[in-house]
Amino acid sequence: MDEGREAQLKRQTRQAAFVIAGGFLVWMALSWLGGLMNWPPRFAILADLAMLAALIWALFVLVNVRRARRNEGD
């Protein structure tokens, strides 16, 4: 596999991991803060949907990285 391509796949994997970890931290903080400040439930739903979108994006990125690595091995 080309070194440039391998570096790109590693960067994409790291980026997806940061999105997952950071998204969960922000989501938990917003959930805690919303309960503390008695925000309306619609804000909790908005935070949940944003986290779900981040997870779906990360899933697509990681599936594409896996596919690329598997195809390079052929």
Element (H, E) at 42: helix 41-73
Phi/psi of residue 39, nearest 5 degrees: -70, 155
Residue with tokens 């990125």: 61
Q: Which two tokens stand for residue 52?
A: 């779900």
Residue-level pLDDT at 34: 95
Question: What gap in Å lies between CA 9 and CA 53, rounded to an integer?
Answer: 21
pTM of the model: 0.88
pLDDT per residue as tens digits for the range 30-58: 999 999 999 999 999 999 999 999 999 99
Residue-level pLDDT at 72: 84
The residues spanned by each domain of the chain are 15-73
CB atoms within 10 A of CB 16: 21
Q: Is the pLDDT of residue 1 over 70?
A: no
